[in-house]
A = this chain, B = another copy of it.
Amino acid sequence: MLKKRIGKAAPARSPSPEVVDIGGLKRILGFSLRRAQLSMYKDYGRFMDRLDLRPAQYSVLLLVRENPGLSQSTISQILGIQRANFVSLLDELESRGWVERRSSEKDRRSFALHLTKKGQAFMKQANVAHSELEASLTQRLGEQDTRSLLRLLNQFADEASVE
């Protein structure tokens, strides 16, 4: 017998999940954001799991491809990742042969990050899978509302009182 709480009398009702009022939660931005993210993440898995590539890893590869030469600090700052936590993330991308840390001549403390040939080839694959994912997500609300959602999300983040 693991359950050993006080045995007060239960009330008359015990609502089934369909009757539960979660309306209040849906009016809370934090809850709605998390809900959307959870449901997005399921689709992410369906399209990206076979690449064994987590969202943060994909973001790094994208950023490095579009901005070769960036430092680890710059990238981790853009992505909202502590630079300490960014090290092992990058280690994995490097050990898989996709990213290269080139020692910079101007500032010998930092590395300039670049995609390898292999990394560029992999990104072509990854982009195909990711396009399928985005198409699937866009289908939910349609082109126009999806664009609105994106605009509002980024506007919301840009307007943060504390940057």
**Interface residues, chain A, with chain B CB atoms under 8 Å away:** 3, 5-11, 13-15, 17, 20-22, 24-44, 46, 55, 59, 62-63, 66-71, 74, 77-78, 80, 100-107, 111-112, 114, 130, 134, 136-137, 139-141, 145-146, 148-150, 152-157, 159-162
Contact = CB atoms under 8 A, between A and B. Distances in A.
A160 B5 contact: no
Chain A contact residues: over half helix, strand or loop, or mixed? helix
Contact of A154 (B21, B32, B40, B134): B32
A28 B71 CA distance: 22
Contacts of A141: 152, 155-156, 159
A159 B39 CA distance: 9
Contact of A160 (B30, B43, B74, B102): B43
Contacts of A17: 74, 77-78
Given A17-B74, A29-B137, A42-B162, 4 more contacts: A20-B78, A24-B62, A36-B156, A43-B162
Contacts of A13: 69
How many of these chains are in the complex? 2
A149 B29 contact: yes
A11 B148 contact: no
